[in-house]
Amino acid sequence: MLDNLSLFFQYPPLAADVILNGLLIGAIFALAAYGMALVWGVLNIVNVVQGELVVLGGYVTFLAVQAGLPPLLGLPLSAAVMFCLGWLIYRAIVFRVVDKDIFISILATFGLSILFQQLANAMFGSDVRTVDAGLGSLHLLDGTVTLAYVKLLAFVLALGAGGALWLFLRHARLGQAIRATAQNPRAARILGIDTNRVYAMTYALNGALCGAAGSLAVMAWTIHPYIGLPYTVRSFMVVVVAGVGNVAGVVAAGLGLGALENVAGFVFGVEFQIAFVFALMVVILVWRNAMAARKRSYLE
Contacting positions for other proteins (CB under 8 A): 46, 48, 93, 96-97, 100, 102-104, 106-108, 110-119, 121-122, 229, 233, 236, 240, 269, 271-272, 274-275, 278-279, 281-282, 285-286, 289-290, 293, 295-300
Which residue, 110 or 166, is less far from other proteins as judged by CB?
Answer: 110
- Least Cβ distance, residue 247 to other proteins (angstroms): 22
DSSP 295: T
Which residue, 178 or 277, is less far from other proteins as judged by CB?
Answer: 277
- Least Cβ distance, residue 118 to other proteins (angstroms): 4
Which residue, 46 or 64, is less far from other proteins as judged by CB?
Answer: 46
DSSP 126: S
- Least Cβ distance, residue 211 to other proteins (angstroms): 20
- Report the distance separating Cα 31 and Cα 172, nearest Å: 20
- The helix (H) or strand (E) run that includes residue 278 is helix 273-294
- Least Cβ distance, residue 192 to other proteins (angstroms): 29
- Report the distance separating Cα 35 and Cα 55, nearest Å: 14
* Three state DSSP letters for 133-185: CCCCEEEEHHHCEEEEHHHHHHHHHHHHHHHHHHHHHHHCHHHHHHHHHHHCH
- Least Cβ distance, residue 94 to other proteins (angstroms): 9
Pairing, β 145-148 against β 137-140: antiparallel
Report how far apart, in Å, the C-alpha atoms of 76 and of each of 83, 157, 211, 289 are.
10, 12, 8, 40
Cβ-contact 214, 223 below 8 angstroms: yes
Which residue, 173 or 295, is less far from other proteins as judged by CB?
Answer: 295
Which residue, 119 or 187, is less far from other proteins as judged by CB?
Answer: 119
- Least Cβ distance, residue 206 to other proteins (angstroms): 17
Which residue, 144 or 289, is less far from other proteins as judged by CB?
Answer: 289
